[in-house]
């Protein structure tokens, strides 16, 4: 069900390589590039190198639990 939700709400983007490494792990830069190309404001990841560059070009990188707590849980009344 969760993967169906992602598939239905996904878009394909062509993301150019960043002109310089942002993350300590260059393999992580592709996620930043995709976020920039799609004008995404939040990346959900537990990767420590991605989390360390949160805020790059106003892209917030949050852990899955934080994303769920902030965006998916219904507020209790």
Which residue ranges make up each domain of the chain?
20-77
Angle at 26 between CA 23 and CA 29, to 5 degrees: 65
| % of the chain with per-residue pLDDT over 70 | 94
Report the pLDDT averaged over residues 29-36.
Answer: 97
**Distance, CA of 70 to CA of 22 (rounded, Å):** 26
Q: What is the pLDDT of residues 6-20, one digit of tens each?
A: 788 788 899 999 999
pLDDT at position 3 over 90:
no
Average pLDDT, the chain: 91
Q: Output the pLDDT for position 28.
A: 97
């Amino acid at each position: 069900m969760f993967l169906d939700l992602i598939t239905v709400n996904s878009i394909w983007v062509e993301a150019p390589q960043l002109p310089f490494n942002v993350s300590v792990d260059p393999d992580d830069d592709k996620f930043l590039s995709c976020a920039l190309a799609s004008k995404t404001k939040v990346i959900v990841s537990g990767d420590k190198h991605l989390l360390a560059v949160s805020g790059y070009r106003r892209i917030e990188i949050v852990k899955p639990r934080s994303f769920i707590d902030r965006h998916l849980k219904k507020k209790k009344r």
